[in-house]
Amino acid sequence: MPLAWTLPLIEIRLLGMTISASMLAGVMQMVDQGDIITAAMVCFCVIGTPLALALCLVYLAVGKPLGMNLRPVLLVLDKLKEWIMFDIYLIGVVVAAIKVKDYADLFAGYGLLAFISLTLFYLLLIIHLDVQSLWQKYYPQPRQALKPEEVKCCIHCHYSGQSDERGRCPRCYVTLTPRIPYSLQKAWAALISSIIFLFPANLLPISIIYLNGARQDDTIFSGIVSLASGNIPVAMVVFTASILVPISKVIILLALLISIHMRCAQGLKTRVRLLRAVRWIGRWSMLDLFVISLTMSLVDRDQLLAFTMGPAALYFGSAVFLTILSVEWLDSRLLWDAHATGNAEYTD
Ligand SMILES: [Zn+2]
């Protein structure tokens, strides 16, 4: 990780000088520009969460013999997985390279090898990390013969069985509720805020390029159009990640939330599949922010050639985070409630 974060990922030769871009330099460049929140978002996905995952695994290895409480760590472990975005950052490196290629000669940095290895290792780690078997290993639960109506499901550690005498999950000690409290309100709040943020995100400039003193503002869409003139496949990738995914995600979430309010009983399987699909594709929207962060650290030659971030980046990042949270907060079991006969149970 230290090598992949600090060594140059790509290098350019511009005006006889070699300029290199690393992940950390990109984040620092964003901080220097005063946009700490956007920098924090990038930092969270490519430095914060992978580091946290590694520390959690160390804690599990050390904590077990010392008899420490492993429950909070196991609970966090499951949530961390989808926030680790090395794979998306790697695609971001490729897109940034293609964008910069028009202005300068491009070379791969030493850090790229470290970064590709890191991405592969984390992919393997996430594939092999089975939180369920870890729960079973550290906190084995006796098998019980229960009637279906007695079985309760814990949405946090995915244990199904009876609650303990205090109404908690016997494995992770989180209080069991039939549905996540305030799930619908939280999901709506996050979704409505993200819809509001999507307007400035698409209308304001997301990147500003100074070329020989002339300033060129690019919105997400105009950036894709100018990318398409050189490389259509890459423009398609950026279009999918920055426009298609966020908008289709908002539309799907709106439809799902409305279907819960309407107590719609049709197409349950389709809707649950849509919710899963939305969870899986949502993280890819961060691509554009990664590209901007990397390009910024690469092309900063004052008035001659400079690339800076526009105000839309903050709104765009916020919208992406909020839609991910909206999916996270939506209790998928609410979709099934309308299907239940008689009194569909709502606890929101
Ligand atoms: Zn539990």
pLDDT at 136 over 80: yes
Cα–ligand 1 centroid distance for 233 (angstroms): 44
Cα–ligand 1 centroid distance for 134 (angstroms): 13
**pTM value?**
0.87
pLDDT value of residue 178: 79
Q: Which two tokens stand for residue 275?
A: 């919710």
pLDDT at 348 over 60: no
Cα–ligand 1 centroid distance for 276 (angstroms): 21
Q: Which two tokens stand for residue 190?
A: 């996050």
Q: Per-residue confidence at 345, pLDDT binned at 50, 70, 90?
A: very low
3-state secondary structure 262-289: CCCCCCHHHHHHHHHHHHHHHHHHHHHH
pLDDT value of residue 147: 83
Cα–ligand 1 centroid distance for 141 (angstroms): 11
- Average pLDDT for residues 192-201, to the nearest whole number? 95
User: Could you tell me if 198 and 285 are in contact, meaning their C-beta atoms sit under 8 angstroms apart?
Assistant: no
- Average pLDDT for residues 35-53, to the nearest whole number? 93
Cα–ligand 1 centroid distance for 335 (angstroms): 21
Cα–ligand 1 centroid distance for 325 (angstroms): 20
Q: Round to whole Å and give the CA distance between 31 and 25.
A: 10
Cα–ligand 1 centroid distance for 261 (angstroms): 28
* Phi, psi of 137, deg, nearest 5: -75, -45
Across all residues in the chain, what is the average pLDDT? 87
The string of DSSP letters for 296-314 reads: HHH-EETTTEEEEE-THHH
Q: Round to whole Å and give the CA distance between 128 and 309.
A: 37
Cα–ligand 1 centroid distance for 137 (angstroms): 14
Cα–ligand 1 centroid distance for 71 (angstroms): 9
Cα–ligand 1 centroid distance for 153 (angstroms): 8
Report, in angstroms and rounded to the nearest whole number, the Rg of the chain calculated over CA atoms.
23
Cα–ligand 1 centroid distance for 12 (angstroms): 51
pLDDT tens, 288-320? Answer: 889 888 888 877 665 567 788 889 999 999 999
